[in-house]
Amino acid sequence: MRHESCKVLVIGAGPGGYVCALRAAQAGMDTVVVEAVAPGGTCLNVGCIPSKALIHAADAFHSTAQMATDNPLGIRAAAPTIDLARTMAWKDGIVSRLTGGVKGLMAKARVRLVQGQARILDGKSVEVTTAEGPVRISTEHLVIATGSRPVELPGLPFGGDVLSSTDALALTAVPERLAVVGGGYIGLEIGTALAKLGARVTVVEAGPRILPQYDAELTRPVAARLKALGVEVLTGARATGHAAGVLAVETAEGKREVAADKVLVTVGRAPATQGFGLETLGLTMDGPFIAIDRRCRTSMREVYAIGDVTGEPMLAHRAMAQGELAAAVIAGGREDWDRRAIPAVCYTDPEIVTVGLLPGAAKGAAVATFRFAGNGRALSLGRDDGFVRVVHDSDSELILGLQAVGAGVAELAGEFALALEMAATLTDIAATIHAHPTLGETMQEAALKGLGRALHL
Ligand code: FAD
Ligand code: NAD
């Protein structure tokens, strides 16, 4: 058996693992990353990037289809068709460019990438099953960045016509009738895209509404758009099984049958903690996740954990920020998790952005809302649904949270996060000149409204 040693060993080359490895190597530490599938992890290969590529293609198809009907823009176009296999090949090209880029960055930083399945032997050694045979690697510091996996439902195991998100992102034909079980991030993002491509979609959601972690005001424009797209949403509903093109569903009103050629199950993701010897470390857990402190340290000395395996929110940018932090701590830095907010974007139609506290989450908080119906940019883009909402301390004017729902609002996430990170007040935002016409002016208007001096209301 081949033996290697290093200072930092990272298991998993997803956004958490590869960023940690890059930073560790840049700090001069001899670093190895072990990856079983492909650099970039879930996010680049079967998550964030391919789903956004599919959403973009679906939007382009859908707007072209609208141009084939009577439309206020006065454009006449022929009804489009789609070759989904070609769309997927285009998407795969984007994925390869990005994963190749990650590989290149790691090579440039002199991170050693070992391709294979890692098994933890103890806190200082790992055995990797590679194509060339087993490799034993000893390390001073171990970073666990194994990510997460889709949750399976007992009555709907993945396989055949029951799809995971990974399967849905590899479809080569649009299903005629699709049922989406779980109306959260993934189900709504992919379900909406497939509806725009022509599938008849039914969403089966156990909660009282879609995206139940958000308030009804924020999700209402998304629900309205789903309805306009012909998507049926069943809430308070659970799917129990699928056979012969029929999905069995239980609702408060009784049993229902939903016609579905394919069923996409998106009921959450579970941390990847099984099957690679993690239990040998006997780490303290936080429910199903690995418990960490504010410096990404686990309960065992010199063993760290980052990303989805450490809990919610399971987002790529959180994993990356933790990756940087863990590398800095290993390098002897004094940093700890001092971030004020982690933005979240849901790429539904319209998009939802949230940063910081939702209304009602803080005592003494007030809320100011400005609607896109009063924003020139939104109107000139042909969409006036949605709003920006500022949650602020009613005494100090300190901004505690920002939310938006509207077409294209994903790009406001950076400004929202910056406002919270810089401890901005309503006056700071109101006094910042926002370019005209932009969607961001709505944030300034909401701040002005919070100060009691709205301009365009
Ligand atoms: P992962 O990206 O899951 O990477 C873990 C890596 O570890 C994997 O490559 C795996 O192969 C490897 N691994 C695991 N065990 C072993 C082992 N024993 N040996 C060797 N290698 C191992 N997040 C966003 O922020 N924005 C989005 O738009 C977004 N969209 C998403 C869309 C979909 C369809 C999905 C499924 C997820 C999406 N996410 C999104 C979530 C995002 O992908 C994750 O939060 C992120 O990838 C977590 O990064 P990570 O490094 O913790 O783990
Ligand atoms: P999710 O937690 O967003 O949504 C799961 C939904 O399934 C919930 O609404 C839940 O009420 C519902 N549900 C649970 N059990 C059910 C059942 N038996 N029947 C019907 N409905 C049921 O999970 P997800 O959509 O699988 O996504 C997983 C994670 O991936 C997200 O939490 C997020 O962190 C990440 N993600 C992020 C993005 C993004 O940032 N744009 C996109 C996709 C995924």
Cite the active site residues.
436
- Chain length of the chain: 457
Strand partners, 3: 136
Nearest protein Cα to ligand 1, atom 33 = 47
Pocket test for ligand 1, best of 20, 33, 43, 125 (most atoms within 8 A of CB): 43
Predicted confidence at residue 33, as pLDDT, reads 98
Query: 426 CB under 6 A from ligand 1?
Result: no
**Ligand closest to CA 214:** 2
Position 65 pLDDT exceeds 90: yes
State in Å: Cα 272 to ligand 1 middle: 10
Q: Over the stretch 13-56, which tens digit does the pLDDT of each residue have?
A: 999 999 999 999 999 999 999 999 999 999 999 999 999 999 99
Pocket test for ligand 1, best of 11, 146, 346 (most atoms within 8 A of CB): 146
Nearest CA to 446 out of 395, 412, 421, 423 is that of: 412
Predicted confidence at residue 362, as pLDDT, reads 85
Predicted confidence at residue 412, as pLDDT, reads 98
Nearest protein Cα to ligand 1, atom 46 = 316
Structural domains in the chain? 2-62+71-149+270-330 (3.50.50.60), 162-267 (3.50.50.60), 344-450 (3.30.390.30)
Q: Over the stretch 395-408, which tens digit does the pLDDT of each residue have?
A: 999 999 999 999 99
Query: 343 CB under 6 A from ligand 2?
Result: no
Strand partners, 425: 398
Predicted confidence at residue 5, as pLDDT, reads 98
**Ligand closest to CA 265:** 2
Q: How far apart are CA 371 and CA 388, in angstroms?
A: 6
| For range 121-126, the mean pLDDT | 98
Q: Over the stretch 285-339, which tens digit does the pLDDT of each residue have?
A: 999 999 999 999 999 999 999 999 999 999 999 999 999 999 999 999 999 999 9
Predicted confidence at residue 222, as pLDDT, reads 98
Pocket test for ligand 2, best of 52, 156, 185 (most atoms within 8 A of CB): 185
- Whole-angstrom CA distances from 118 to 37, 41, 103, 130, 368 are 11, 15, 19, 9, 50
State in Å: Cα 242 to ligand 2 middle: 20
State in Å: Cα 6 to ligand 1 middle: 24
Query: 117 CB under 6 A from ligand 1?
Result: yes
Nearest protein Cα to ligand 1, atom 47 = 43
Predicted confidence at residue 457, as pLDDT, reads 85
Mean pLDDT over all residues of the chain?
97
Position 377 pLDDT exceeds 90: yes
Predicted confidence at residue 363, as pLDDT, reads 86
Q: How far apart are CA 11 and CA 127, in angstroms?
A: 11
| For range 270-274, the mean pLDDT | 98
State in Å: Cα 265 to ligand 2 middle: 9
| For range 355-382, the mean pLDDT | 95
What are the backbone angles phi and psi of residue 227, rounded to the nearest 5°?
-60, -45
Q: How many C-beta atoms surround the C-beta of residue 15 within 10 A?
A: 30
- Of all residues in the chain, the percent with pLDDT exceeding 90 is 98
State in Å: Cα 82 to ligand 1 middle: 29
Instruction: Quote the tokens at residue 15.
Output: 């956004």
Query: 126 CB under 6 A from ligand 1?
Result: no
**Ligand closest to CA 149:** 1
Predicted confidence at residue 403, as pLDDT, reads 98
DSSP secondary structure letters along 255-283: EEEEE-SEEEE-S-EEE--SSSSGGGG--
| For range 241-245, the mean pLDDT | 97
Predicted confidence at residue 204, as pLDDT, reads 98
State in Å: Cα 88 to ligand 1 middle: 20
Predicted confidence at residue 234, as pLDDT, reads 97
| For range 118-137, the mean pLDDT | 98
What is the pTM assigned to this prediction? Answer: 0.97
Predicted confidence at residue 124, as pLDDT, reads 98
Predicted confidence at residue 423, as pLDDT, reads 98
Instruction: Quote the tokens at residue 184.
Output: 């959260």
Query: 156 CB under 6 A from ligand 2?
Result: no
- Of all residues in the chain, the percent with pLDDT exceeding 70 is 100
Predicted confidence at residue 38, as pLDDT, reads 97
Banded model confidence at residue 364, pLDDT cuts 50, 70, 90: confident
Pocket test for ligand 1, best of 10, 33, 42 (most atoms within 8 A of CB): 42
